Amino acid sequence: MACGICGSDVMEWYRIKKAPRVLGHEATGVIVEVGEGVKHYKVGDRVFVSHHVPCNECRYCLSGHHTACETLHTTNFDPGGFSEYVRVPKINVERGVFILPDNVSFEEGTFIEPLGCVIRGQRIAQVKPGHTVLVLGSGPAGLLHIQLAKLKGAERVIATDINEYRLKAAKKFGADVVINAKENVPAILREVNENRPADRVIICTGALPAVHQAWQCVDRGGIILFFAVPPPDVKVTIPITDFWRNEITVTTSYGASPMDLAEALEIISAHKINVRDMITHRLSLEEAGLGFKIVAEAKECIKVIIEPHR
């Protein structure tokens, strides 16, 4: 019934190696048929379906690194969310299907996966009450990070982007301060943050200048989270001596586990985060190409939703 276009869907270096395939992994819908032995779901149920699920048995899962699990990296539904119907494998049925409460629309449900990824990222980055959090990049993921950081009790959330439309959106969705990334971000950060850098820096763009800004914007004892990354042919140089002396942590997060998705659904159902107003475009399946173009250009848009039965 609905499927969001993710920023990763338009990253050619990330997706082209898997072509040809139907993309779309932020999907919600209605069950129209159940396989033999399915007991917990029935025809007519409104659901969100996770495309990747972990095995819960390997050394990575058992140590809490569910998104490093080989099973998670190889599972998927068929063919993809940008289609009218999908088939859900047994393991996904068992570990990745979530009933949508009546107060969660299909459109809102498409945010379960991206918010789950954000929840996982902020847990890894150890975002806590009282922190100053700097979010570099105010696209859909950045806006979710802003809202979640505020929900977690961050004292100050500061956001950047080069797009004035998205800077206004960052302010609308809870950023205390917004900074045009073309300006001197480290200097302005200190001005608005009691003359010190940020406790947590979350990189939500693959732009290399943002990485360089991150190095200059993290406080002693702070953590930098790569939520988004540059293309694989781009080499990142870390000022390791400075980081060593100041005990800076650089870490990454990828995807979401079933636990993260369950928490995301709970937050969306309780309306603790505003996802509805992040939707700027609703398009039919025939308009999917236009949707990809809008997301890739990243001008005056936030979240683009494809509705296959529109």
Sequence-distant (≥ 6) Cβ neighbours of residue 130 within 8 angstroms = 153, 154, 155
Residue type, 193: N
Q: What is the pLDDT of residue 301?
A: 96
Please give the CATH architecture assigned to the domain spanning 2-110+256-307.
Alpha-Beta Complex (3.90)
Stated pTM of the model: 0.97
pLDDT single digits (tens) 112-130: 999 999 999 999 999 999 9
Q: What is the pLDDT of residue 190?
A: 98
Per-residue pLDDT, averaged over 236-252, amounts to 96
Per-residue pLDDT, averaged over 98-122, amounts to 98
Q: Does domain 126-252 have CATH number 1.20.200.10?
A: no
* 113 exposure class (CB count in 10 Å sphere: 0-12, 13-18, 19+): buried
Q: Are the beta carbons of 307 and 283 closer than 8 angstroms?
A: yes
Sequence-distant (≥ 6) Cβ neighbours of residue 47 within 8 angstroms = 28, 29, 30, 31, 41, 97, 98, 99, 100
User: Nearest 5°: phi and psi at 155?
Assistant: -70, -35
The whole-chain average pLDDT of the chain stands at: 96
Q: What is the pLDDT of residue 12?
A: 85
Q: What is the pLDDT of residue 274?
A: 98
Q: What is the pLDDT of residue 218?
A: 98
User: Nearest 5°: phi and psi at 27?
Assistant: -105, 140
Q: How confident is the model at residue 16 (pLDDT cuts 50, 70, 90)?
A: confident
What are 294's two structure tokens? 């809008």
Domain boundaries, the chain: 2-110+256-307, 126-252
Q: Is the N-terminal amide bond of 20 cis, ω within 30° of 0?
A: yes
Q: How confident is the model at residue 201 (pLDDT cuts 50, 70, 90)?
A: very high
CB atoms within 10 A of CB 131: 22
pLDDT single digits (tens) 152-197: 999 999 999 999 999 999 999 999 999 999 999 999 999 999 999 9
Where does residue 230 fall: left (phi above 0), alpha (psi -120 to 50 degrees), or beta otherwise?
Answer: beta
pLDDT above 90: percentage of residues in the chain: 95
